[in-house]
Structure 1
Amino acid sequence: MRSDAKKNYDHILQVAHIVVTEQGADASLRDIARRADIGLGTLYRHFPTREALLDALLRSGFDELTTKAQELETASSSDAALLSWLREVVTGTGVYQGIVTVMVAAMEDTESALHASCAALRAAGARLLVRAQAEGLAHADIDGDDLFSLIAALAWLSDQPASAPRAEHHFNIIASSILTSRASGNLRTQL
């Protein structure tokens, strides 16, 4: 990418971050272009779809969460590692209101620009889950798809103003549905 095109790309992403933070995942692309002081055609040249723009906004955070999961795969406590990562993912997906709906749809649509990033995130969580299951610390009847759905549920609840004050309570309910009673007891003694 030429340096001027890269500068334009980065500027659009900076403005898009602000607008999507303010307006959520359904933010007006026209508003993003206007505030970036570019034409709508220029926006679409860099980001042909809304999903492509959202993927660019989310990719670095998702990559960090995937890397974090890889690091946690060798942590001494697989249950604590899984919950630590789960908490970070829920927080990370809460940056943009409405992003969870887009993420869930992207998992079903392999043509979506967001699909690969979401699939990598799901796979990273699944590896942490499998490790905890192998140690008898997570329920065996949960898989990576279930974990991704639980993350989406927690993130969606966090997105709801009426639910926000109970976010920690909701997290603990989900955590107890993932972990075995042995793991839950281990974590209580660690806290």
Structure 2
Amino acid sequence: MSSQRADARRNYARLLAVAEQEIAVHGADASLEQIARIAGVGSATVRRHFPSRHALLDAVFRGVIESLGARARELSGAADARAALLDWLAAVNGNVATIRGLAIALTRDCTASPTEAHEHCATAQLTEAGEPLVRRAATAGAVAPDVTITDLLALITGIALATEHHPDPAASATRLLDLAVAGVSPRRR
């Protein structure tokens, strides 16, 4: 029984890793059959772990969001509040830019039906994770006092949507974020 559980855990982890890679390349419409094939499992195994496309997308994105939340907590005590915020924003930007279409797909699913319960909504979790970093940066004078985490996340979402079809979306998104940061939080001389 425990070897079966260990095998199921390995399959789950492998499916998530493959799904993240396929979503990065093909967006939220990545083929579940292709994901199963690359992971070396049958489509029944995919359906057993993820009963719907949304469940798979949600699991992939939840892992990314949890990682970004952990990174924000790590950075919350950094000596340089500006550098901490910019480090975290770069991580968010990089993930959103490389997981093509996933953020918008999950955002739609989170808001599509107000009567439907959703276990996870990325925007709320990212807002909660990034708010202390923005507050610290504002207190330190590193960003304008009226800059909010909501503003910064909207900026990153816009950058991701604007660059998702570029030949190198991550590089394009990084360049645009750098340009925006220069306006939001110019370096002091």
Q: TM-score, normalised by structure 2?
A: 0.77
2:15 pairs with 5, 12, 15, which one?
Answer: 12
Instruction: Report Cα offsets for 1:34-56 as digits up to 9, x if no partner.
Output: 55455544322211232321232
1:178 to 168, 176, 184: 184
**Residue identity in the other structure for 1:130:** R
Over the matched positions of the two proteins, sequence identity in percent amounts to 32
Change (3 A) 1:54 1:138: same
Distance 1:124 1:13 in 2: 23
Note the C-alpha offset of 1:155. Answer: 2.2
- Aligned-pair CA distance for 1:169: 4.2
Query: Following TM superposition, by how much is the alpha carbon of 1:107 offset from its aligned partner in structure 2, in angstroms?
Result: 5.3
Work out whether residues 154 and 170 of structure 1, in 8 Å CA contact, stay in contact via their aligned partners in 2: yes
* RMSD across aligned positions (CA): 2.9
SS in 2 for 1:185: coil
Corresponding residue for residue 31 of structure 2: 28
The one-letter code matched in structure 1 to 2:187 is G
Is the contact between residue 73 and residue 127 of structure 1 (CA under 8 Å) also seen in structure 2? yes
Q: What are the ranges of 5 or more consecutive residues in structure 1 without an aligned counterpart? A: none
Distance 1:41 1:169, change over 3 A: closer
Question: Does structure 2 retain, via aligned residues, the 8 Å contact 1:51–1:113?
Answer: no
What is the aligned partner in structure 1 of residue 164 from structure 2?
159
User: Which residue of 2 is the match for residue 67 of structure 1?
Assistant: 70
Write out per-residue CA displacement over residues 11-56 of structure 1, whole angstroms, 9 at most, x where no aligned residue. Answer: 3224323432332221122433455455544322211232321232
Write the distance in 2 (CA, Å) between the matches of 1:133 and 1:65: 20
- Aligned residues between the structures: 182
Structure 1 CA distance, aligned partners of 2:8 and 2:97?
30
Name the counterpart of 2:139.
Answer: 134
Give the TM-score normalised by the residue count of structure 1.
Answer: 0.76
Q: Give the letter aligned to residue 136 of structure 2.
A: R
Please state whether the residue corresponding to 2:100 is helix, strand or coil.
Answer: coil
User: d(CA) in 1 for partners of 2:37 and 2:142?
Assistant: 51
Deviation at 1:10, TM superposition (A): 2.6
- 1:50 maps onto 2:53 in alignment: yes
Match of 1:87 among 81, 87, 90: 90
